[in-house]
Amino acid sequence: MAKETANKKATGHWSMGLLASMDDPELRVEADDKLVIIKDKYPKAKYHFLVLPREKIPSLKSLTAQHLELLQYIHKKGEEIADRANKELRFRFGYHAVPSMSHLHMHVISQDFDSPCLKTKKHWNSFTTQYFVDSSEIIRQLEKKGKVEVGGPDANELLKQDLRCHVCKKKFANMPGLKSHIVFHNVTKSKNK
DNA sequence: GTTCTAGAAC
DNA sequence: GTTCTAGAAC
């Protein structure tokens, strides 16, 4: 209680924040009996949603073949929300190899990466290197092996990689340089690149 | 995950 | 002198 103001409810450690966000009407976009979709509190692109199962699944490591149907449903609902948000922009659907926040969540993020909340190399590399694992890849692994194996001890090194444009692979020395470059790319689905 | 900020990089 | 990154936060 010492550090919490009297009118704010303590929600525990910051890594548990997603559970509170799931119930936040400001962030919630959609919900049914199996999952909740919220807007990312600090969106890293024009459109950035999180799809969270209601079932308490701590991480990718907890997944078994029994979760296949749920993961396919999460993916489907993610595609729907992306389509509803913007039909032109390209989106990716996937999971961070080693997420900071507890509770399994699939990112639905438009590939413009045009957002003031996108600030650091870690942000960038977490969405544009192999640290970002496509949902389809997760589902494939689960179908094939009955479990998911991503990340590993070298996962953190991925976040330290040099900054590269995700479209043309051009290298940049710092974030402001990269950010002013990527706004010139069209990240639409099918139109001329 | 973010905020803050010291000191590196420019 | 200003911009930018990177590490601590109990």
pLDDT tens-digit series, residues A147-183: 999 988 889 999 999 999 999 999 999 999 999 999 9
Q: Supply the residues of A annotated as catalytic.
A: 105
Protein A33 CA to nucleic acid C6 C1', in Å? 42
Residues A79, A23: Cα–Cα separation, whole Å: 22
The rounded percent of chain A whose pLDDT value lies above 90 is 90
A164 touches strand C (CB under 7 A): no
A173 touches strand B (CB under 7 A): yes
Tokens, residue A108: 């639905």
Cα-Cα-Cα-Cα torsion A92, A93, A97, A100, nearest 10 degrees, comes to: 100
Protein A127 CA to nucleic acid C5 C1', in Å? 19
Nearest nucleotide, C1' to the C-alpha of A14?
B1
pLDDT tens-digit series, residues A66-83: 999 999 999 999 999 999
